[in-house]
Amino acid sequence: MGSSESHIHPEQDLVDLSGRVAIVTGANSGIGLYILLHLVRRGAKCYLAARSREKADAAIARLKEEGLGPHPGEIVWLNINLTDPRKAKECAEWFLSQESRLDILVNNAAKILGPYAQTADGVSDSMVVNHISPFNFTKTLLSLMERTAQLPYSDVRIVNVSSVAHRWVPNPRYDSFEAFNNDFSDTYKAKTNLYGYTKLANVLWTNELQRRFDDAGIPITAMAVHPGNVMSEGNVKLFTSLTFGRLINWGFSLFFLSPLDGGYTPAWAAAAKKIAENRGAYKGKYIVPFGLLEEASPDALREDLAADLWVTTERILEQYKWA
């Protein structure tokens, strides 16, 4: 998908975020950096969630070079490590000690295509980084987000950055620890299927979150987003590692979005005026560039898969005492 900047008007499309607080994970580079830039330019106090102060400081310097706009919000480093769900929870607890509100949470950080590996606890690292840790992080923050949603003129949103790769998973299951640890080695394109499996989990989790919010009468809007095919730093590194990598990068750059444009749709989901005017139309929905509704895959709409995913995630968190 090529860039179409004529469709991108953050100053017009996004609400004034002055006085609002946001978290963007994986915001030290790539899409996350520009999601945060769009939000801070609209006045939000943005927590840049990254694993080291050095990376965060370098990212903040880059953002200032890009230009924060005439009335920017504040950028604060949030020390997060999604490779361990315990550390993700500790990060959320630290945030709770610092802030009295949380209006926007963008779960963007992810492990991209790569070989299968397990954490020291024996759990698929792709599932830990891309689903279990974000689940635990969000779960810990929910009480604050629910309180924020009761404030006057509030508009609390959770945006989970997924991918078109969620459509490519063969026969997905989430009903056991063994399913979570599937390495897809018995399938064609095992790395792609593993990544897609985690991205399908993002959409299913979003749907189940929204169902639970609605059942409890909690006015929070959860959405899953495909940011587009983006020439992020992670993708550039991935393509460069391949045979004829430089040629591949050049070819894809003709059709892929820039990271600035790639950051727009998640930022749009987090702060669009259009959603504020009709939140019911966007609850639990799947959004693609640039701010368009699209039906997710048939598997992503399965309530049984979403329920299995939630139950198994909770079971694993309890088993390892991560919750």
Q: Which three-class secondary structure string do you get for 87-126? A: HHHHHHHHHHHHCCCCCEEEECCCCCCCCCCECCCCCEHH
In angstroms, the CA 110 to CA 199 distance is 9
Angle at 257 between CA 256 and CA 259, to 5 degrees: 130
In angstroms, the CA 178 to CA 1 distance is 36
192: tokens are 């792609």
Residues noted as catalytic: 162, 195, 199
In angstroms, the CA 130 to CA 239 distance is 21
In angstroms, the CA 121 to CA 290 distance is 39
In angstroms, the CA 138 to CA 109 distance is 13
How long is the chain?
A: 323
272: tokens are 């669009």
Please state the separation of Cα 193 from the chain's center in Å: 19
Burial-class residue 48 by CB neighbours within 10 Å (0-12, 13-18, 19+): buried
In angstroms, the CA 168 to CA 199 distance is 10
Q: At what angle do helices 303-319 and 190-216 cross, to 10 degrees?
A: 100
Q: What DSSP element (H or E) covers 158?
A: strand 156-161
